[in-house]
Structure 1
Amino acid sequence: MGGSSGILAPASPGSPPVHAVEPAVVARDLAAGYGTETVWAGATFEIGAGEMVGVLGPNGAGKSTLLRLLLGLLRPQRGTVQVLGRPPMRGNPDIGYVPQRRPTTDETSIRGVDLVRLGLDGHRWGTPLPGRRQRAAGRRVADAVAAVAAQPYAGRPVGQLSGGELQRLLLAQALVGEPTLLLLDEPLASLDLRHQAGMAALVSDLARELGLTVLLIAHDVNPLLPVIDRVLYIGRGGVAIGTPGEVITPEVLSRLYEAPVEVLEDSRGRLFVVGLEDEVSHPHGY
C-alpha cells in the first residue's frame, strides 16, 4: 500500500485497549496535507484515554502534521477527527504540547522557571497577574517543576542548561496547565541513549500518575519499547497502528513502503529496520 492508501494494520491490532471512558482521539478516513498535496490519507484509528502511543516514521512522512491536526492548526483534507470528544481547536487548554526543540545560545537569559510559567500565562507576557492569582500560578509552576525533578536548575538561565535539563523544563511547561492529552514532538532528539531512556520513563510515570494520554513522536522506537502501549507508523502516505510487535514487522512495513523491508532484533531486544535507505538517512528508519 502506498501513495494515498490508508490503514495497513487489520482492525483488531488497530483497536485500542478497552477503556470505560471516551477515546482521546478518534480518526475516520482521515487525510492530511498542505494545499493540494496530500501527505497521508485513509487513517482510521482510535487512541484510548490513558494510552501512551509512539508516533514513528521517516523524516517528512507527516508525523508533525498529525500533531498539527490535533492542535487545530491544520484542517483535514478529508475525513474527520475528534480530540477529547470534539473537533480540534486552537489553544485547547486540555492539551499540553512540546514542539520540536529549537537550539538555544548561552545568551538566552530567560530562567527555567519563567519558561515553565509561559505555559500558564504566555499570552499575558509582561502583564503581571493579580496577587491571589499570582500566588496560585506560582504554586502550579512549582508543582510542575517538581513533577519533572527540575528544582536544582529551574532558577538558572535556559541558555546555561543541558539538552536534557531544558527538555524536562519544556515538559513541565506542557504540564503546568493540567492537560489531559500530551503531544510531544521528538522530545528524545539530541539526547544520549541514557537520557532518552530516562525521558521516556519520566513521561510514562507522569502519564500514569496524572492520567494522561500521550502521543510521542520519535525516530527510534527502542527507548520507547518498555513504556508505550502502541505505535502509529506513518510512511509513504499510509498509516499503520497496533502494538510494536504487530506493526514493526517485515509484512506490515513492506506493504506500507511497497518494497522489501526487514526487521532485525538483537540479543537485547532492540529493533532495527533494514531496507529503507531510500526513505531515510539515519540508521533506525523511524
Structure 2
Amino acid sequence: MEKEAEPCIEFRQAAVQRGGRTIWSEGTFAIQRGTVTAIVGTNGAGKTTMIDVELGLLPLCHGSVTVLGRPAGQANGRIGYVPQNYMDDVDSNVTVDQSILLGITGTRFGFHRVTREQRGAVADIIDFVGLHGKERMRLNELSGGLRQRAAIAQALVSHPDLLLLDEPLANLDLASQSAIVELFARLNREWGMTIQIVSHDLNMLLPILTGAVYLLDGHPHYSGMSTVLDSQLLTHLYGTKVEVVTTPQGDMFVTPNPDMEPAGHGDGTLDASEAACFFKQHYAHSHPAGQQSQGATPSRATPQSAAATQPDTATQGSTQGSTQGFTQED
C-alpha cells in the first residue's frame, strides 16, 4: 500500500543543461499515479528535454528525478515511450504486427522465437487501438492517424505503468486527433494508466487532462488544470494574450483574444463563440480523466475492443486550418 502511494514521477530541485546552457532549473513537483498530464511551454523551453530526463537519457546537473519509485532510467522496462518522429526509428516497410512485436523483442529482427503469448499480446493490443484487419499492412501504407496508433500500440504491448508521448497529435487531421485523445482516455479509464504528453495545443487534450507541467521563466512547475487554466498564467507562458473560455455547459477552452493581439498573430485560431461550438461538437460525450480514474483498475490482460474510437482519415479535413484552437509552433 505504501508503494502505491508513491508519486509516479517526482522532481527534487532538478536542473538540466545542454551544451553548457541551463535549459531549466529548480524543478520540484510530484505527479501522482493514474493521472493524465501535459507538458507545455514555448519553443526551446525544454519540453522534450524533460522526457529525456525522465527516461534517464540526459543526466541532471543538479537535484534528482525518480520515476515509478526508482532513479530516472532504472524503471524504463515499465515505461512506454512514443517519440515525436516515430517513423524515423522504424523501417516503414515493416508490417503493423511486426512493428508492434518490436515492443516486446526490442530491435531483434530476423530469426528468433516468438511465443504464442507474445503473439496473443500483439493481437490484443491491435484490437484495443483499433487496428484490427490492418495487421499485415506496411507502415508506409497507413494514414498518419493509423501510424500513430501503431506507434502507441508498440509502446503498450508490454503493458507499461507509465506512457510518455512527445507531440502525438502533431500533423494529424482533427478526426485523427480526436480518435487518439479518446484512446488516451480509455487507457486512463480502463487501465488506470499514468500518461504524460508533450503538446503545444491544450484544447484537444483538455477533456482528459488532470494537470500540466508548464515551463515558465526557466523553471518547471506542476499544477492541476484549475490552476493552469488561468488567462494571466497562459498569457505569460505563451507571450500572447490568451483567454480561457467557459461554455454554457461548464467546459473550458483556451483561445487567443484577437482584439488584443498584434495584427495577424492569431490567424487560424478560434474566437470565443467558435471555441464553444467546437468543444460541444467534438467532446459532447467526453469526461475528464480526473473523474474517470478514481475507481478500481480493470485487468489489463484482456483489453476491450476499440469500437468506441473514431475512424482515422488519410487526408486532412477542410476545417483543420480554422479550428485548431490555441497552438504555438515549436
The interval holding the TM-score normalised by the smaller chain is 0.7 to 0.9
Does the 8 Å CA contact 2:56/2:73 hold for their aligned counterparts?
yes
Superimposed CA distance per residue, residues 106-162 of structure 1 (whole angstroms, 9 cap, x where no aligned partner): x93210111111111123222412xxx521211111111111011122210110100
Residue matched to 1:79: 63
Residue matched to 2:136: 155
Alignment CA distance shift 1:248-1:269 (3 Å): closer
The separation in 2 between residues aligned to 1:236 and 1:260, in whole angstroms, is: 15
1:211 is matched with which residue: 192, 197, 207? Answer: 192
Map 1:82-161 → 2, pairs under 5 A: 82-89=66-73, 92-102=76-86, 108-129=92-113, 133-161=114-142
1:61 aligns with 2:45: yes
Query: Distance in 2 between the 1:233 and 1:114 partners?
Result: 36
Give the 3 Å change call, closer, same or farther, for CA 69–187 of structure 1 in structure 2: same
1:50 maps to amino acid? G
The answer as to 2:173 corresponding to 1:187 is no
User: Relative contact order: is structure 1 or structure 2 higher (C-alpha 8 Å, sep ≥ 6)?
Assistant: 1
8 Å Cα contact 2:39-2:198 kept in structure 1 = yes
Q: Which residue of 2 aligns with 1:40?
A: 24
| Residues 96, 139 of structure 2: 8 Å contact kept | yes
Distance (whole Å) between structure 1 residues aligned to residue 203 and residue 25 of structure 2: 27
Describe the shift of the 1:102–1:249 C-alpha distance in structure 2 as closer, same or farther (beyond 3 A): same
| Unaligned 5+ runs, structure 1 | 1-18
In structure 2, relative to structure 1, the CA distance for the partners of 1:255 and 1:159 (3 Å cut) is closer
> How far is the alpha carbon of 1:163 from its aligned partner?
0.4
SS at match of 1:128: coil
Aligned equivalent of 2:309: none
Contact 2:86 2:151 in 1 (8 A): no
| Other structure's SS at 1:225 match | coil
**Deviation for aligned residue 1:36:** 1.4
Structure 1 residues 134-143 or 232-241, which shifts more? 232-241
How far, CA to CA, are the matches of 2:27 and 2:201 in structure 1?
22
* Change in 2 beyond 3 A, CA 1:83/1:273: farther
Of the three residues 35, 56, 62, the one matched with 1:51 is 35
Question: Which piece of structure 1 moves more, 181-190 or 51-60?
Answer: 51-60
C-alpha contact (below 8 Å) 1:111/1:154 kept by paired residues:
yes
TM-score by length of 1: 0.82
For residues 98 and 240 of structure 1, the distance between their equivalents in structure 2, rounded to whole angstroms, comes to 23
- 1:249 equivalent in structure 2: 230
Identity of aligned residues (%): 34
Matched pairs, number = 261
Give the counterpart of 2:243 among 263, 267, 271.
Answer: 263
Q: Do the aligned residues in 2 keep the contact of 1:220 with 1:285 (CA within 8 Å)?
A: yes
Q: Offset at 1:20?
A: 5.6
Letter in 2 for 1:247: V
1-side partners of 2:268 and 2:164: how far apart? 23
Partner SS for 1:113 = helix
Code of the residue aligned with 2:107 in structure 1: it is H
Q: Could you tell me which of 230, 234, 242 is aligned with 2:215? A: 234
Partner of 2:116: helix, strand, or coil?
helix
- d(CA) in 2 for partners of 1:28 and 1:51? 19
| Secondary structure in structure 2 of the residue aligned to 1:191 | coil
Q: Do the aligned partners of 1:232 and 1:242 also contact (CA within 8 Å) in 2?
A: yes
Q: Secondary structure at the match of 2:171?
A: coil
When structure 1 is superposed on structure 2, of 214-223 and 201-210 the one drifting more is 201-210
Which residue of structure 2 lines up, in the alignment, with residue 11 of structure 1? Answer: none
Return the offset for 1:41: 1.2
Q: Indicate conservation of the 8 Å contact 1:276/1:285, yes or no.
A: no
Tell me, in whole angstroms, the C-alpha distance in 2 between the residues paired with 1:97 and 1:199: 15
Q: Alpha-carbon deviations, 1:139-191, whole Å to 9, x = none?
A: 11111111101112221011010000010111100001111010011111111
Unmatched runs of 5 consecutive residues or more in structure 2: 270-325
Alpha-carbon separation, structure 2, partners of 1:92 and 1:44: 21
> Once structures 1 and 2 are overlaid, which stretch shifts more, 150-159 or 170-179?
150-159
Please say which of residues 233-242 and 31-40 is displaced more in the overlay.
233-242
Q: Report the residue type matching 1:28 in the other structure.
A: R
